[in-house]
C-alpha cells in the first residue's frame, strides 16, 4: 500500500491544539516523561498537553514546522532561533503554573529536569531544536526524517549551529544521521540524557 502524500510546511498559530496533541501523544512514553509524570499514560498525556500548550503560548519567538497528511498534522517541531532559547522568569512561571494545575506533585521533578538541561545549554549562539514528535501510530514511516531534513536544510542555509537534548537512546542514532554529534551526557530523573550539536554544512 502506497504511503499517503506528506507535506512539510511552516505551522500556523491557529493550529496550536493540533500541534499540542501530536506532542502529548507522540512523547507520552518518553523515559523522562514517565519519570516526571508517573506511570499512568492518560495522566502523562494530560500533563504534557498542559506543558506544551503553555510553552508554545508563552514563547512567541519559537519557529514551528509541521508535517501534514490528508489534512491532519502528524508531526511537529519547535525551534528556538539563536539567542532566544532561554525563557524569561515570567515565561517559566506561566509554564510551571500550567503544570501545577494538572499535576502539582510533578512540578519539582520538572524543574529539576529543566535545570539540568539548562546547565548544558551551549554558551555560543545556536538554534535550539525541540520539542519534536510524530503522532502515536504514525511513527516509523519517515515523518520524523522529513521534519529533520527540513530543519537541517534551514540550518545550512542560515549557517547556524544547532543543539538538542534527548532521553531516548534510539534517537541518538537518528539524530546522528543528520549530522548531530554527542557533546555531553547526564542522568536526569534517573534516566540517561544526551546533549547533541550540529555544525552547519559547508557549501
Q: What are phi and psi of 81, to 5 degrees?
A: -60, 160
Which residue in this structure is represented by grid cell 506544551? 52
Q: Which cell numbers hold the place of 155?
A: 540550518
Alpha-carbon gap, residue 73 to 76, rounded angstroms: 7
CATH 3.30.460.80 fits 7-198, yes or no: no
Q: What pLDDT score was predicted for residue 86? A: 84
The DSSP letter of residue 47 is H
DSSP per-residue string spanning 142-191: SHHHHHHHHHHHHHHHHT--EEEEES-HHHHHHHHTTT-EEEEEEEETTE
Parse the chain into domains and list their residue ranges: 7-198
Q: Which residues are paired to 198 by β-bridges?
A: 162
Which residue in 37, 48, 31 sits closest to 168, CA to CA?
31
pTM for the model stands at 0.93
Q: What pLDDT score was predicted for residue 162? A: 97
pLDDT in tens, the chain (203 residues): 346 789 999 999 889 999 999 999 999 999 999 999 999 999 999 999 999 999 999 888 999 999 999 999 999 999 999 998 887 888 888 899 999 999 999 999 999 999 999 999 999 999 999 999 999 989 989 999 999 999 999 999 999 999 999 999 999 999 999 999 999 999 999 999 999 999 998 65
Amino acid at each position: 500500500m502506497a504511503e499517503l502524500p506528506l507535506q512539510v510546511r511552516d505551522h500556523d498559530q491557529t493550529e496550536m491544539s493540533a500541534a499540542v496533541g501530536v506532542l502529548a501523544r507522540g512523547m507520552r512514553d518518553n523515559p523522562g516523561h514517565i519519570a516526571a509524570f508517573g506511570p499512568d499514560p492518560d495522566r502523562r498525556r494530560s500533563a504534557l498537553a498542559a506543558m506544551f500548550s503553555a510553552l508554545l503560548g508563552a514563547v512567541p519567538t519559537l519557529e514551528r514546522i509541521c508535517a501534514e497528511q490528508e489534512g491532519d498534522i502528524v508531526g511537529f517541531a519547535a525551534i528556538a532561533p539563536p539567542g532566544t532559547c532561554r525563557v524569561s522568569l515570567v515565561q517559566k512561571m506561566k509554564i510551571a503554573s500550567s503544570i501545577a494545575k494538572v499535576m502539582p506533585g510533578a512540578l519539582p521533578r520538572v524543574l529539576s529536569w529543566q535545570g539540568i538541561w539548562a546547565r548544558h545549554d551551549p554558551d555560543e549562539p545556536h538554534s535550539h531544536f525541540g520539542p519534536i514528535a510524530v503522532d502515536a501510530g504514525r511513527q516509523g514511516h519517515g515523518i520524523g526524517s522529513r521534519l529533520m531534513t527540513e530543519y537541517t536544510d534551514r540550518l545550512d542555509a542560515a549557517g547556524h549551529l544547532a543543539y538538542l537534548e534527548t532521553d531516548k537512546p534510539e534517537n541518538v542514532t537518528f539524530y546522528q544521521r543528520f549530522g548531530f554529534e554527542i557533546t555531553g551526557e547526564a542522568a536526569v530523573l534517573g534516566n540517561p540524557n544526551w546533549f547533541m550539536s550540529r555544525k552547519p554544512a559547508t557549501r
